[in-house]
Structure 1
Amino acid sequence: MTPRSDHTHAATLKRLEKASGELAAAAIARMDEQLPWYRAMPPEHRSWIGLVAQAGIAAFTEWFRHPGTPQAISTDVFGTAPRELTRAITLRQTVEMVRTTIEVMETAIDDVAAPGEERVLREALLVYAREIAFATAQVYAQAAEARGAWDARLESLVVNAVLSGEADEGALSRAAALGWSSPDHVCVILGTAPDGDSELTVEAIRRAARHAKLQVLTGVLGDRLIVVAGGSPDPLKAAKSLIGPFARGPVVAGPVVGDLLAANSSAQAAVAGLKACGAWQDAPRPVLADDLLPERAIAGDPAAREQLVEEIYRPLEEAGSALLETLSVYLEQASSLEGAARMLFVHPNTVRYRLRRVTDVTGWSPSDVRSAFTLRIALILGRLTEAEPRS
């Protein structure tokens, strides 16, 4: 049974107080002998552990004096340096430290207890060991909660910086603190956030990312779920791997960029694509922001307009007027080879050859309905651009 009053076991208490220093020294010596990780630690960390071991033995002495007060154990033992302790050593290592200290105290019971009170001291130590185990779990749980809340705020800052175009070396430093190892391929994926706890959504994204071997920085901003994904050169493949936690509705993947500092361009493309996605009713899910270039251009996205002109119209213009003329006539003739050939006074095979050249130059096939629409918008924008200096 445990002690029932402050004075019942005064002799044992007195001997315990006297032996506290020796017990702490013996516990430290046994850790040094049996725990390799303790020996490998820098002196500062070992001193923290020594303080905690001494505090643990002192707390047991006080608890033995006033039994039934377990609520003070966490403060008495871990109050010396709780934050430093949880950062310096893992929970497993802390358990090993506590076990070693308890074992040292247990082996000394016969020497410390007054004659006839060995069983009382042993039972008290068992109860104290249970309480110290709970206290250890509580300290690490609180540290984990605080660290998780801090990490969430830090991650939100990084994601906001990417979206706003304010990502700098400070954002890189914060991302590195979250485990981001600066992968070569980065893209931003955007969609609607599901209802409910945003923390559960973020954790679901992280699980999907671990399964797909991707690095992610993610957050819920308003009704949007934003994911900065790194490690895949294929943005569509990355989006498909992470699409599960998104709510119903369009999910848009921005183009791949080289690093986190350049991710704003991917984010802006994804934002513009999400706004314009409603104009393409049959859009796949997920969809690339680059596949939404015509809708984005019509919606007023200047980056999409410039991209269509620079990646389609300019290369065709540089390839010779025949390609531009043939493509324009072909599209005007409802994609009819024969009709275009008659209008151009050439053989249909010539039209067919020039259209293949259009595909080679731009990457878009005039014979595909969706590609033809994109090419038509690019031609219109290119002509408008050509007309601007003269207007």
Structure 2
Amino acid sequence: MPEPQSSSPEPAARDAHSHAATLKRLEKSSGSLAAQAITRMDETLPWYRAMPPENRSWIGLVAQAGIAAFTEWFRHPDTPQAISTDVFGTAPRELTRAITLRQTVEMVRTTIEVMESAIDEVAAPGDESVLREALLVYAREIAFATAQVYAQAAEARGAWDARLESLVVNAVLSGEADEGAVSRAAALGWNSPDHVCVVLGTAPEGDSELTVEAIRRAARHAKLQVLTGVLGNRLVVIAGGSDNPLAVAKSLIGPYAAGAVVAGPVVPDLLAATRSAQAAAAGLKACFAWQDAPRPVLADDLLPERAIAGDPSAREQLVEEIYRPLEEAGSALLETLSVYLEQASSLEGAARMLFVHPNTVRYRLRRVTDVTGWSPSDVRSAFTLRIALILGRLAGGDPQT
């Protein structure tokens, strides 16, 4: 036998029945409420008046959809509905780029205020408190729906930006940077700083997005512009805004994993950043040969290790910046430096071999420092000078080298 039906209607049906008059009046006044909301926006929101007509019309449709969705929601308060689809689905996706989240909140607040001010006129006698309470609950739901729409748009934009940034970083690292890479960087907010350098190191294990965000936080604190990404096991940072690459590396070193961190030389722009990236990559490859290397370390401080490891740019730099200037300064400087290094950095020993006074040797070594920027009395600099002399002799002795 069928179960006996209750003499009283279900709660939802009872509510819909008891507020039928209010619902009917709400349906009838929805158009005028939407028009009032648009008028209020035009009067109180300067950004709305400044918008092009097309965007204003879309906002009008959103307001109408919001009031219509409230009417339907009031009809079936216990039925779950996708408010974001009902309200914001009427507008194109581009609208989330045309108006900000703050402006959307102001638009929703204005529409809710218009509806709230009309409660006494719209509600049937005795239903004022019911309609007001329903509007408060609906306002909460529409606020969550607004946040969801903008969160989804931000996630989509963030994913696209991450792919775009990865393309730029990879182009710089692979030597394929061109005007297209510059345009992509500009779309990411890169405003072409005068000084650019590349910092390379090992990426930490775990979520690469957290690592990238940590780099951005450190860059904001150091007032630097950065383009960054994790490529394989390497964390790459293209930094702009400082002419001191070592200071840049020190300010960004926190998110890097243990191991060497190498800063390439400063270059004038993003197109030239490939040169800095290649120097940093060669330095990272050769850094393990210098066991006492500081962290971080400049790629230029690793010139001898890079040259021995086969980096042609390091070899050329050592010859052009050390050997050639010494050669042009006169044979006495080259001869004195060579003898001094061969005599285990002994002034007296070099003086005896050269048949000159030790003060003469001392003077010539100071000239070497002035010409090259490397001091023969420093152990590390002496090693660099020795490698430069070897490479210079090889280049001078064999024209094909």
Q: Calculate the TM-score normalised by the size of structure 2.
A: 0.94
* Matched letter for residue 247 of structure 2: K
Note the C-alpha offset of 1:300.
0.5
The corresponding residue for 1:378 is: 388
The corresponding residue for 1:149 is: 159
Q: In the TM superposition, what whole-angstrom CA distance separates every residue of 1:77-107 from its partner, at most 9, and x where no partner exists?
A: 0112252232112212211111110110111
Asked if 1:20 is matched to 2:19, the reply is no
**In the aligned structure 1, how far is the partner of 2:80 from the partner of 2:313?**
64
1:267 to 277, 281, 303: 277
SS, match of residue 261 in structure 1: coil
The corresponding residue for 1:172 is: 182
Moved more, 87-96 or 290-299: 87-96
Matches within 5 A, 1:335-346: 335-346=345-356
The corresponding residue for 2:95 is: 85
Q: In the TM superposition, what whole-angstrom CA distance separates every residue of 1:340-379 from its partner, at most 9, and x where no partner exists?
A: 1111111111111111111111100001000000000000
Asked if 1:329 is matched to 2:343, the reply is no
2:357 to 328, 338, 347: 347
Asked if 1:233 is matched to 2:213, the reply is no
Asked if 1:134 is matched to 2:144, the reply is yes
Note the C-alpha offset of 1:123.
1.8
* Matched letter for residue 369 of structure 1: V
Asked if 1:287 is matched to 2:297, the reply is yes
Indicate conservation of the 8 Å contact 1:82/1:139, yes or no.
Answer: no
Moved more, 67-76 or 183-192: 67-76
Moved more, 373-382 or 3-12: 3-12
**In the aligned structure 2, how far is the partner of 1:217 from the partner of 1:364?**
33
Moved more, 315-324 or 87-96: 87-96
Moved more, 275-284 or 345-354: 345-354
The corresponding residue for 1:198 is: 208
Asked if 1:124 is matched to 2:134, the reply is yes
Indicate conservation of the 8 Å contact 1:340/1:351, yes or no.
Answer: yes
* Matched letter for residue 267 of structure 1: A
**In the aligned structure 2, how far is the partner of 1:68 from the partner of 1:286?**
62
SS, match of residue 71 in structure 1: coil
**In the aligned structure 1, how far is the partner of 2:400 from the partner of 2:126?**
109
The corresponding residue for 1:249 is: 259
The corresponding residue for 1:30 is: 40
**In the aligned structure 2, how far is the partner of 1:82 from the partner of 1:247?**
44
Distance 1:223 1:173, change over 3 A: same
Identity rate of aligned residues, in percent?
A: 89
**In the aligned structure 1, how far is the partner of 2:244 from the partner of 2:79?**
60
The corresponding residue for 1:298 is: 308
Indicate conservation of the 8 Å contact 1:235/1:254, yes or no.
Answer: yes
Indicate conservation of the 8 Å contact 2:264/2:280, yes or no.
Answer: yes
Note the C-alpha offset of 1:328.
0.6
**In the aligned structure 1, how far is the partner of 2:165 from the partner of 2:154?**
16
The corresponding residue for 1:11 is: 21
User: Any gaps of 5 or more consecutive residues in structure 2?
Assistant: 1-10
* Matched letter for residue 182 of structure 2: L
Asked if 1:59 is matched to 2:66, the reply is no
Indicate conservation of the 8 Å contact 2:198/2:236, yes or no.
Answer: yes
The corresponding residue for 1:222 is: 232
Indicate conservation of the 8 Å contact 1:162/1:264, yes or no.
Answer: yes
SS, match of residue 340 in structure 2: helix
Note the C-alpha offset of 1:390.
7.5
Note the C-alpha offset of 1:126.
1.4
Distance 1:258 1:2, change over 3 A: farther
**In the aligned structure 1, how far is the partner of 2:14 from the partner of 2:257?**
60
**In the aligned structure 1, how far is the partner of 2:254 from the partner of 2:81?**
44
SS, match of residue 254 in structure 2: coil
Q: Calculate the TM-score normalised by the size of structure 1.
A: 0.97
User: Any gaps of 5 or more consecutive residues in structure 1?
Assistant: none
Note the C-alpha offset of 1:18.
1.6
The corresponding residue for 1:46 is: 56
**In the aligned structure 1, how far is the partner of 2:79 from the partner of 2:270?**
52
What CA RMSD, in Å, does the superposition of the two structures yield over aligned residues?
Answer: 1.6
* Matched letter for residue 300 of structure 1: G
Moved more, 381-390 or 218-227: 381-390
Indicate conservation of the 8 Å contact 2:12/2:76, yes or no.
Answer: no
